[in-house]
Amino acid sequence: MDSVYEELDEVKAEIEKLKEEYRVKADLAESLKRAQNEQLIKTQEANHKLEKLAQELNGKEDKICAANQIIDDLKSNLKDKEAVIKHLTSANSKLRLDYGEKLRRCEEENKELGLALDEANAKNMDQEKQICSLKEEIEGVKRLLTVLQKKSSEAENKAKASKELKLRDDVFLKLEEKNRSFEDQLKWKNEQFGHLEEAHEKLRHHLQVREKEWEKEKAVLIDDISSLQSNLESQIRISEDLQSRLHMCNQALAHEEGKRKLLEVQLLEFKNMFDNVCDEYEEAKLKFESLTSQRDEEIATLRGSLGTTETLYKEMQYQFNKLELEKQELMVSIKELQEAQIQEAGKISSSSKLRNKLKCLEQVHRDCSMNLKAKETEWHLLNEKLKVDLNICRSALERKDISMNELKKELEDCHSLTLELELQNEENSLLLLVLKSEISEAQLRLANSSACMDLKNKEIEETNSVLVEQLELKETLVRVQKELEEEREKTVVLSRRLKSVEEDPMHKELDRLKEMLKESSSCQLYSEEQVLQIQSNLKTIHDALDRANEENSLLLLVLKSEISEAQLRLANSSACMDLKNKEIEETNSVLEEQLELKETLVRVQNELEEEREKTVFLSRRLKSIEEEQLPMHKELDRLKEMLKESSSCQLHSEEQVLQIQSNLKTVHDALDRANEENSLLLLVLKSEISEALLRLANSSASEDLKNKEIEETNSVLVEQLELKALVRVQKELEEEREKMVVLSRRLKSFEEEQLPMHTELEMVKESSTSQLHSEEQVLQIQSNLKTIHDALDRANEELYEKFCEVNEVEFELQIWKSIAEQFKANIKENHQLRRDVEASLLAQVEVEVNLKRERENLCHQLEEKNKRIDDLQQQIVGLNERINFKETANLAGSMTAEKEVLAKHSDEKSSEGLQKELNCLVQELMNKELEAAILAQVEKNNDQEKETLSQLVEEKDQRIYDLQMLVASLEQEFESSTCSFSSQLTKMQAERNSLCESWEKIKTAEVLKEVEIQERNLIITELEHDLSNLQQKVEKQERNLFGSRKKREEIEAELEAKQVEIYKMECELEEKKLSSDTTIKKLNDEKVKILEDFMKFSDRENLFNYTMGLLSDRIQKSSMEDMQLMKNLERIVQTMENHGPGIEMNGDDDDDEYDPLKENMNTFSSPLMKKAEAIHDERSPLRALNN
């Protein structure tokens, strides 16, 4: 019984040791769980980092959207500028049309003046004929006088001879009759002269009054001219300010276009990054294939390890059977020893056998201690290796942290750059608003100035009507007098007007047209530069996006690879630890690694799908950008059409225009085919335009030379006319002198012949004096008429200036008409925008409906997931209850096990069952923790999806609100523009009516001036000569155009070759897309296969765990039985040592040697009495070694 109690105590001690070992193992399991939890936390942190990177990518995409909005704003600004350019080109074309109409009118006027000159020449010929007839009559009168003198001499001779009295009576009678007739004529002439003096005095008084009125009107007109000049100067200053501001706006737009080019470069970089992502995708695919091959190899290694474990298990069973046989032998030997002790017959053979067995056991124990030391050294080496690996991992993590910090800094820099871009965009918007306000102010000023001009035009019309009446009176007076002086003065006026017409307005208009052409060409170049800058900015944006995508993908792959490496290292370390503890747990770690690899593969596939979605999104973005570039191309086409119109209007008056238009059309077709050769074709156009401008300059210079020659010829003709007039006046004076001499002679003859005629002669003298006085008066009248002519010249000059002003008013009227047409075009564009906005709103409504459907589907999915989560939670609660129940049952079983020590076999079975249940519970806890982690991830993903959906819905609501606001603002602008347009139309119609009336009056005034026909005929002849020269130049240009056409055909051939290459590239891209789709399908199939393998592996894992549990239970049983055998052996040795002195029958000697002489002695002490002494005095040979 004592031995039984001792064995029970030993069993209790062993049970306590087993509990301590179980606690140690539980602590190890908890530490492993903590390590796994830490790994899960790290993986979650890595996922959070990846999510942050994804959010940053979304932020970058938002920034790209903002940049696209900025580009849209720039496009709208470009459209506005194009509208301004259209307006300028329309104004330019209208100016050219007006110039052509004016030229036609001038030609018609030249024809009319030529006809008038012909009529005047015919009148002059008639007058010369009349003068010749009068001269002939004077000569006949002179002949009659000579005849009369001869007859009178003959009559005197006859009277002297025979009939002096009769002849005298007859002569007296005749003389009396003639005297009476002369007296009647003198009375009639005196009456006429009195009437003429009265009319002359009236005319002088009227002229003095009119001169005073003219001086007053002249002062008023000078004041008006000064005020108009001041207004012109102010308007010129305003226009200069506007031009400077426009220049500033152009510079700002150029700066923005530079930024746009940078964005285009970034877009190209993003494209390259996208290509790199595709390459990385292919590399990942190769890695995936390599991983599958590694998986197959690992499965083969696991199968080999399973074979080795089976062999080890068989060996352990063999050893266990051996130990059981030895145990049975020992039990038999113990029974024999007990029987020998009872029979008091010590047998040497049994003791010797036991000693031999003990020695064998000691040797086995020593071998075990050596094996333990070797294993401890191996453990230390493995720990050192693991420490080195951990240090390497920490250094790698620190490096990654440094790289993450650098990336964060780069992101902050990007944010700062985006903020700067936003600030610059705001500044640009403010500048545009300021410009719009200033343009509106300028328009208001122009409206005010137009109103002032209307008032001034009315005043000028009134003054013109008064002046026309005065001119009519003056022209009647001038016609009464000598027509030679009128012709002289009219030639002077015509020469002046020709100089003024040919030098001032024509050259001014030519300069204006040239400036407009230069501005249009500069605007065209600037717009093309802007388009190039926009394209370069889009390329930079694409490049930047591609680079960002590549960097993000590289970071994701690096992080994934690093995470997988860290997980592999940790898994390897845990596997090594498990191999050192238990080689069977290594398979579990390998399977866990495979599961983690599969999870990583699943994540990689999910990320690849996300990247594919991103690529699809980027492709859509690229398509949208290309669609946005289509209006840019359309705008380029519009600009090209504007250039065509400007070139056609510029050279409409010459035959060069048609050829240049054909060149421009061909060049623009080439531009539409290939945007790359825009610069070359534009250079060709510029060279042609510059050549045309040079030709125009040469033609203008030749016209100036011809005008100078015409002026010289006019001056020569004026001098010749003046000489002719002087000769005619001298002739007339000589004729009058001759008449006076004849009259004096006749008077002398009458005085000599008749004395009573003295009185009459005195009357004749008085008449001569009166005639001299009348001649003096005529001279005074001529001087007055000269002053009147000077005043008329001044009035004509003033009329010409007013005519110029009227032309300017007409030009402004045409500008206003073009503005009205532009308003109509803007109204049409607003209608189109409204329709587009409505279409976009309908599309957004459809998108919202689709989003609502998707949201409802997601809500249903979330509800299903919540139901699943609730079911899983209920299952977890049930499992927890089962675990608690089993723990209570285990505690009760342990208490009963302590009480029921005797039933060892039942206890071993219950302990085996408990261990199995504990292992099952541990596995269930691990599965629950994994399920909880998966559920947490699923909930996080659902929350993130909900947040993203809510953000999308809010963004779309905001966009809808913005579009509604835009529609409202457009409607308001449309209403305001229609109101302003209607008011401006009414004003323009009133101005047009007033200008038409003034124009008709001016035409009536110009019709009276018919003397310029001859000079215009000379100009026409010179112009015909110029036209012949121009035709020669046109022939030369046709030759040049033939060469340019050949060049154009070569360029078109090159463009067609490039189009073929582009088509080939598109075909290759489509093939690549098809190949990528096939690879995606293959990957999905592989994914399905991997999931099936994963399910198979999970089943195998369960079987493997079950077999491992059975093996561990059997090994624990064998170890427990070994321990019991060792203890039994120790007890046997102790009993043997204690029975040695009892056999000697003398308890005083404590000698360990065996005495064979005292073997058969009868006196000995009982083993129970000397057990305590043996415990205190002697030691167990195995315990010392164990300690």
1029-1056 pLDDT, tens digit per residue, is 777 777 777 777 777 777 777 777 777 7
407: confidence class by pLDDT, cuts 50, 70, 90? low
Q: How far apart are CA 545 and CA 271, in angstroms?
A: 7
Other beta carbons less than 10 A from residue 1060's beta carbon: 10
pLDDT for 42 equals 79
501: confidence class by pLDDT, cuts 50, 70, 90? very low
pLDDT for 555 equals 54
Reported as a single tens digit per residue, the pLDDT across 1059-1071 is 777 777 777 767 7
Mean pLDDT (whole number) for 1091-1105? 63
Residue type, 806: V
pLDDT for 500 equals 56
The encoded tokens of residue 578 equal 């498990």
**pLDDT value at 532 more than 60:** yes
Reported as a single tens digit per residue, the pLDDT across 465-491 is 666 666 665 565 556 556 656 655 665
**pLDDT value at 601 more than 70:** no
- The residue with greater pLDDT, 965 or 897, is 965
What does residue 1010 show for φ and ψ, rounded to 5 degrees?
-115, 20
Q: How far apart are CA 1000 and CA 1011, in angstroms?
A: 20
- List the single range of 748-762, 903-917, 991-1005, 1170-1184 with lowest mean pLDDT: 1170-1184
Residue type, 865: K
For the chain, the residue count is 1187
69: confidence class by pLDDT, cuts 50, 70, 90? confident
pLDDT for 1148 equals 36
* Burial bucket for residue 1028 (CB in 10 Å: 0-12, 13-18, 19+): exposed
Contacts of 991 (CB under 8 A, 6+ apart): 450, 454, 809, 813, 816
Q: How far apart are CA 345 and CA 323, in angstroms?
A: 29
C-alpha distance from residue 491 to each of 496, 720, 800 (Å): 8, 11, 16
**pLDDT value at 1136 more than 80:** no
pLDDT for 935 equals 67
pLDDT for 458 equals 72
The encoded tokens of residue 436 equal 């719009």
pLDDT for 958 equals 73
Mean pLDDT (whole number) for 510-516? 57
pLDDT for 193 equals 74
What does residue 362 show for φ and ψ, rounded to 5 degrees?
-65, -40
597: confidence class by pLDDT, cuts 50, 70, 90? low
Percent of the chain scoring above 90 in pLDDT = 0
Q: How far apart are CA 948 and CA 941, in angstroms?
A: 10
Q: Which residue has the tokens 């064995």?
A: 7
Handedness of CA 608, 612, 615, 617 (dihedral sign): negative
415: confidence class by pLDDT, cuts 50, 70, 90? low
- List the single range of 634-643, 834-843, 845-854 with lowest mean pLDDT: 634-643
**pLDDT value at 724 more than 60:** no
C-alpha distance from residue 725 to each of 486, 589, 719, 733, 1042 (Å): 11, 132, 10, 12, 58
Reported as a single tens digit per residue, the pLDDT across 823-841 is 677 777 767 776 776 676 6
Residue type, 463: T
pLDDT for 344 equals 56
pLDDT for 139 equals 78
**pLDDT value at 285 more than 50:** yes
291: confidence class by pLDDT, cuts 50, 70, 90? confident
Reported as a single tens digit per residue, the pLDDT across 202-244 is 877 877 887 788 788 778 877 877 777 777 787 778 778 777 7
pLDDT for 487 equals 57
863: confidence class by pLDDT, cuts 50, 70, 90? confident
**pLDDT value at 47 more than 60:** yes
Other beta carbons less than 10 A from residue 831's beta carbon: 12
Q: Where are the beta strands (DSSP E) in 729-857?
A: none
- The residue with greater pLDDT, 688 or 403, is 403
Q: How far apart are CA 333 and CA 604, in angstroms?
A: 68
pLDDT for 1159 equals 38
Closest of 1187, 1168, 1177, 1184 to residue 6, by C-alpha: 1168
What does residue 1180 show for φ and ψ, rounded to 5 degrees?
-85, 135
Cβ proximity of 15 and 910 under 8 Å:
no
Q: How far apart are CA 454 and CA 1095, in angstroms?
A: 94
pLDDT for 138 equals 73
515: confidence class by pLDDT, cuts 50, 70, 90? low
SS3 category, 964:
helix
Cβ proximity of 535 and 259 under 8 Å:
no
1161: confidence class by pLDDT, cuts 50, 70, 90? very low
pLDDT for 61 equals 76
pLDDT for 981 equals 61
**pLDDT value at 1006 more than 80:** no
Top-confidence range, 299-303, 555-559, 889-893: 299-303
**pLDDT value at 639 more than 60:** no
Mean pLDDT (whole number) for 542-549? 57
Top-confidence range, 538-542, 560-564, 998-1002: 998-1002
Residue type, 484: L
The encoded tokens of residue 1029 equal 């020269």
pLDDT for 1150 equals 39
Q: How far apart are CA 814 and CA 820, in angstroms?
A: 10
Q: Where are the beta strands (DSSP E) in 266-336?
A: none
C-alpha distance from residue 282 to each of 276, 618, 666, 1105, 1146 (Å): 10, 19, 47, 38, 93
1187: confidence class by pLDDT, cuts 50, 70, 90? very low
pLDDT for 667 equals 47
Q: How far apart are CA 277 and CA 546, in angstroms?
A: 9
Closest of 1112, 1126, 886 to residue 21, by C-alpha: 1112
Reported as a single tens digit per residue, the pLDDT across 944-974 is 766 776 677 677 667 667 766 766 676 676 6
- The residue with greater pLDDT, 373 or 467, is 373
- The residue with greater pLDDT, 902 or 942, is 942
1142: confidence class by pLDDT, cuts 50, 70, 90? very low
Per the prediction, the chain carries an average pLDDT of 67
The encoded tokens of residue 761 equal 């002669």
Closest of 125, 39, 198 to residue 569, by C-alpha: 39
pTM score, whole prediction: 0.20
Cβ proximity of 110 and 1016 under 8 Å:
yes
Reported as a single tens digit per residue, the pLDDT across 117-151 is 777 777 777 777 777 777 777 777 777 777 777 77
**pLDDT value at 1138 more than 80:** no
How far is the first Cα of the chain from the last one, in angstroms, to the nearest whole number?
28
Helix (H) or strand (E) holding 971: helix 904-1007
Instruction: Annotate 330-359 with b (16+ C-beta within 10 A) or e (fewer).
Output: beebbeebeeebeeeebeeeebeebeebbe
pLDDT for 1175 equals 39
Give the DSSP letter of residue 655.
T
What does residue 30 show for φ and ψ, rounded to 5 degrees?
-65, -40
1158: confidence class by pLDDT, cuts 50, 70, 90? very low
Percent of the chain scoring above 70 in pLDDT = 41
Cβ proximity of 495 and 714 under 8 Å:
yes
Helix (H) or strand (E) holding 75: helix 2-158
Q: Which residue has the tokens 């301004």?
A: 84
Q: How far apart are CA 388 and CA 902, in angstroms?
A: 52
818: confidence class by pLDDT, cuts 50, 70, 90? confident
pLDDT for 356 equals 72
Cβ proximity of 359 and 1129 under 8 Å:
no
Cβ proximity of 484 and 728 under 8 Å:
yes
Give the DSSP letter of residue 161.
I
**pLDDT value at 859 more than 50:** yes
What does residue 1118 show for φ and ψ, rounded to 5 degrees?
-65, -40
Other beta carbons less than 10 A from residue 538's beta carbon: 28
Give the DSSP letter of residue 1157.
G
Q: Which residue has the tokens 């071998």?
A: 367
